[in-house]
Amino acid sequence: MVEQESVRVVRCGGSELNFRRAVFSADSKYIFCVSGDFVKVYSTATEECVHILQGHRNLVTGIQLNPNNHLQLYSCSFDGTIKLWDYVDGILIKTFIVGHKLHALFTVARAEDSVFVTINKEKPDIFQLVSVKLPKSSSQEIESKELSFVLDYINQSPKYIAFGNEGEYVAAVRDFYLSVYFFKKKTTSRFTLSSSRNKKHAKNNFTCVACHPKEDCIATGHKDGKIRLWRNFDDDKKYTYTCLHWHHDVVMDLAFSVTGTSLLSGGRESVLVEWRDAAEKNKEFLPRLGATIEHISVSPAGDLFCTSHSDNKIIIIHRNLEASAVIQGLVKDSNIFTGLMIDPRTKALVLNGKPGHLQFYSLQSDKQLYNLDIVQQEYINDYGLIQIELTKAAFGCYGNWLATVEQRQEKETELELQMKLWMYNKKTQGFVLNTKVNMPHEDHITALCFCNAEKSENPTLVTASKDGHFKVWILTDDSDIYKKAVGWTCDFVGSYHKYQATNCCFSEDGSLLAVSFEEIVTIWDSETWELKCTFCQRAGKIRHLCFGRLTCSKYLLGATENGILCCWNLLSCALEWSAKLNVRVMEPDLNSENIAAISHSSMGSDLFVFKPSEPRPLYIQKNISREEVQWGVFVPRDVPESFTSEAYQWLNRSQFYFLTKSQSLLTLSTKSPEEKLTPTSKQLLAEESLPTTPFYFILGKHRQQQDEKLNAALENELVQLPLTENIPAISELLHTPAHVLPSASFLCSMFVNSLLLSKESKSAEEIPDDVDMEEEKESDDSDEENDFTEKVQDTDNTDLGEDIIHQLSKSEEKELRKFRKVDYSWITAL
């Protein structure tokens, strides 16, 4: 039973993993990255999310290892706090309240009780680097108001600030200026490059900075693709710099190796460049990384690098420039044209991501499963080039078919339109292109939908377009003398008074098709394609259209652009009810009669859940998001919830996800992100006090609730051993210091003796002590065979976590009886 108060709006994933540089643990086993309000801890070996550090109330803007304890992590946020974490156990240790909005975080080993942060002063674009003293206290929340000024006129991004030569100086860049502050001398040196105003076509703007870990050398990246290495910068007149140039566009980030022998650079070319010994000739490349490199990080051990990319991806790279792991988040395109869909086979969230691709995203593990290349053309990263866009997609026939629409338009009269239909291949476990239709309509396609009725014999697809027509596509036999094949062809073309077709949907049983033509809704018979009736309320263009389901299948719902929600009764062909609601999202639940509608106002977005048969909502959640919600989808649950309150019963069989304008993926849930996104195996291990090793099955925690019927049946046949934690011999063995324990041979005999059956056991009494050896040998084979059969049956009927029950054979009981005479009373004297 789930309590009513526990349901809340939670961020379920999809946050940016590339917002800040990722940070490695000291042993390179873990990698940390900011993700919205959280800090995620991933395993570098398995790519699994191990922990989600939650506690900040606003966007996390910086993370750094504690230089004095490598098992701890600092994080800062816009909420004005610095938090110290134990990332191994995922525990918050301390919270330091600074009070200012923190934009970046830096730590230096020399400053034991201080960290450096970037704060905003007065003007919105003026930032300062200050030192924050972290007082020592036993309380969990501590105020840290003691700030020391270091540098001003800096950029808020941590890519523009770097500490060098073990913390002796700090370098900061902005626009055309390089500032270096020396901590010992407490002086600042400034260097200026010629600006584009003074030199034609010059792009000397600083874009990033990195400092040599052990020498006085500063590397700066620039907008023109050049890298400058600065030396002798402690003297304003004798400073020098040399140039390295390979990138043809902006240098996005720089990083030195741990020893300083190599410099790493990356940019829009999607190529990681390693400059060895800072020489132009000694270059190594790791190309085709898939997207623009935003950040570069180096592990403290020096054995791993990682790159953060513009497609919300982190690639972990070995020292020899070989990619070893990829952590892929939800790819955020500039526009989500396809909306949110659910793959009926994998229950994955599907939407457009990389240009020309559909991404399949696991909501349970918060990571991408795979990409499906729809456009099947090489993507060219050029701002002036008009790309082919994936605009529509829909699943049909329980995931057996996928329809996609792609378009490209340079001018108003030059529209390139293409529809593709993909068939699921069970052998390859993926979608294979079946039919390609060039220019299926003369204008933009506004909607497409499959007929997903259970009794539908022939797959049917409907497309609606601004050209005033909707088309019905059916699957036909396309076999020839060479092979058997199927393909899609147009079966019917419909229109209504030359109005633009804006939406289309099938009823649950597939007998009716609803198509909206601007302000008018038309109902068509799916067998004869005859127009049955029309609905018109003159309340504006129809924005959303959907049929009711199950007991509400006789209703049709439509939401207009003028903020009116209408419900029509298909039996009486009349308006059942209407409500004034500015609906931006309307999604039906495929497992129930419920429909979710999200409205938007100046105060934020509100959620309404209702049944078409009742105009009164079942559930209302005000201000689920401060920004506009653009898409929503119901996801069937693998395991139903058990909400008892009527207001929350709509969440029992399905879970509702919605995507905001800033592409934050949210849901209504009872679980915290740590419980939801952490793998199940990790949750089980966290609950146990002992690891799941063979020794665990002897000393581990046994289940308290066992099957009473199974135990009752086994009591008469099998002999149950006592619980191991109640055996004194084992307790003495575990609590005695190892250096005073006797040899292993004594311990082994003692341990086996402790497992012997009591004298009251029937199996021990039935066997006489004077059994002949010949008789014993003759029964060995049958005993072993019977014993093996009993073990197999016991394994099949008993879980690993239950008490281990085992019946001893006659030969085993006779052998164990020899150990009874051994005296182990010396153990009590230890």
Tokens for 825? 């009373």
CB 794 within 8 A of CB 808: no
Name the CA dihedral angle for 483, 486, 489, 492, rounded to a multiple of 10 degrees. Answer: 130
Q: How confident is the model at residue 475 (pLDDT cuts 50, 70, 90)?
A: very high
Q: Which two tokens stand for residue 249?
A: 């566009």
3-state secondary structure of 177: strand
Q: Is 443 within 8 Å of 463 (Cβ atoms)? A: no
CA 794 to chain centre: 40
- pLDDT for position 728: 64
**CA distance linking residue 203 with residue 391, whole number of Å:** 36
pLDDT for res 380: 72
For residue range 337-381, list pLDDT tens digits in order. 999 999 999 999 999 988 889 999 988 877 888 899 999 887 776
Q: At what angle do helices 744-754 and 728-735 cross, to 10 degrees?
A: 150
Question: Which of 62-71, 197-206, 307-316 is least confident?
Answer: 197-206
pTM greater than 0.75 (yes/no): no
3-state secondary structure 406-442: EEEEEECCEEEEEEEEEEEECCCCEEEEEEEEECCCC
Pairing of strands 583-588, 574-580: unpaired
How does strand 283-286 pair with strand 272-276?
Answer: antiparallel
**Please, are residues 556 and 506 in contact by the beta-carbon 8 Å criterion?**
no
Q: What is the spatial distance between Cα 616 and Cα 594, in angstroms, rounded to a whole number?
A: 12
Residue 725 corresponds to which tokens in the numbers above? Answer: 């934690």
Question: What are 107-115's contacts with CB under 8 Å, separation 24+?
Answer: 107/64, 107/65, 107/66, 107/67, 107/74, 108/67, 108/163, 108/167, 109/67, 109/68, 109/166, 109/167, 110/166, 110/167, 111/167, 112/68, 114/148, 115/64, 115/74, 115/82
825/741 Cα distance (integer angstroms):
14
The string of DSSP letters for 468-501 reads SEEEEEEEEE---SS---EEEEEEEEEESTTPPE
- Looking up tokens 């020399």, which residue turns up? 110
Do 414 and 386 form a contact (C-beta atoms < 8 A)? no
Structure tokens at 696: 């665990």
Q: Closest Cα to residue 354, out of 324, 387, 315, 314?
A: 387
Residue type, position 413, single letter = T
List residues bridging with 420 in a β-sheet: 404, 436
The amino acid at 678: T
Please give the Cα distance from 143 to 149 (Å, whole number). 18
Average pLDDT over residues 599-624: 90
Distance CA 473, CA 624 (A): 39
Write the CA distances from 817 to 729, 771, 810, integer angstroms: 17, 13, 11
Query: Residues 35, 41, 43, 46: is their CA dihedral positive or negative?
Result: negative
3-state SS assignment for residue 590: coil
Q: For the CA atoms of 158, 162, 167, 168, what is the dihedral angle to 10 degrees?
A: -140
Alpha-carbon span 509 to 639, nearest angstrom: 26
pLDDT-derived band at 769 (thresholds 50, 70, 90) equals very low
Interatomic CA distance for residues 559 and 155, integer angstroms: 46
Helix (H, G, I), strand (E, B) or coil at 341: strand
- Can you give the length of the chain in residues? 830
39: its two tokens: 């800090």
**Contact between 37 and 58 (Cβ < 8 Å):** yes
pLDDT for position 825: 66
- pLDDT value for 733: 66
**What is the Cα Rg of the chain in Å?**
34
Report the b/e string of 544-576 with b at 16+ CB within 10 A: bbbbbbeebbbbbbbbbbebbbbbbbbeeeeeb
The tens digit of pLDDT for each residue in 526-542 reads 999 999 999 987 778 99
**Span 94-147, pLDDT tens digits:** 999 998 889 999 999 888 789 999 998 777 678 899 999 998 888 889 998 888
CA–CA gap between residue 178 and residue 821 (Å, rounded): 85
Is beta strand 341-342 parallel, antiparallel or unpaired with respect to 349-352? antiparallel
DSSP state at residue 626? S
When mean pLDDT is compared across 258-267, 396-405, 737-746, 765-774, the lowest value belongs to 765-774
**Which run of H or E residues covers position 677?**
helix 673-677
For 343, 426, 662, the CA distances from 430, given in Å and listed in that order, are 12, 7, 31
Q: Taking a C-beta distance cutoff of 8 angstroms, is the pair 23, 65 a contact?
A: yes
- Rounded distance between C-alpha atoms, residue 485 and residue 552, angstroms: 39
| Residue 632 banded pLDDT, cuts 50, 70, 90 | very high
Residue 37's contacts (CB-CB under 8 Å, 6 or more residues apart) are 11, 15, 54, 56, 57, 58, 59, 60, 77
- Amino acid identity of residue 263, one-letter, is L
Cα atoms found within 13 Å of the Cα of residue 319, Cβ hemisphere only: 11
Summarize pLDDT for 305-335 with one digit per residue, the tens: 999 999 889 999 999 999 999 998 888 877 8
Label residue 685 by pLDDT band (50, 70, 90).
very low
Helices (H) and strands (E) in the chain, counts: 10, 57
Torsion of CA 362, 366, 369, 372, to 10 degrees: 80
DSSP classification of residue 818: G
Q: pLDDT band at 827, cuts 50/70/90?
A: low
Residue 495's identity, in one-letter code, is S
SS3 (DSSP) at 616: strand
Interval 702-725: pLDDT, tens:
444 444 554 555 455 444 445 555
- pLDDT value at residue 822: 64
Instruction: Compute φ and ψ for 110, nearest 5 degrees.
Output: -70, -35
For 20-29, 219-228, 479-488, which range has the lowest pLDDT when averaged over its residues?
479-488
Tokens of 555: 């209703």
630 vs 619: CA distance, rounded Å: 20
CA distance 435 to 455: 24
Q: Which of 423, 438, 425 lies closest to 487, judged by CA?
A: 423
What distance in Å separates the CA atoms of residue 673 and residue 654, rounded to the nearest whole number?
18
Pairing of strands 414-425, 401-411: antiparallel
Q: What pLDDT was estimated at residue 552?
A: 93
Place of tokens 């209302």: 620
Max Cα separation, the chain? 111
pLDDT above 90 covers what percent of the chain?
A: 47
8 A C-beta contact, residue 609 and residue 617: yes
**Strands of the sheet with 127-133, listed across from one edge:** 102-106, 114-120, 127-133, 147-154
Instruction: List pLDDT tens digits, range 206-244.
Output: 999 999 998 899 999 999 899 999 998 887 778 898 999
- Core vs surface per residue 614-627: b (16+ CB within 10 A) or e: eeebbbebeebbee
Q: Token digits for 596? A: 């979710």
3-state secondary structure of 739: helix
Mean pLDDT of 378-385: 72
User: How many Å apart are CA 46 and CA 115, to the nearest integer?
Assistant: 32
Average pLDDT, the chain: 82
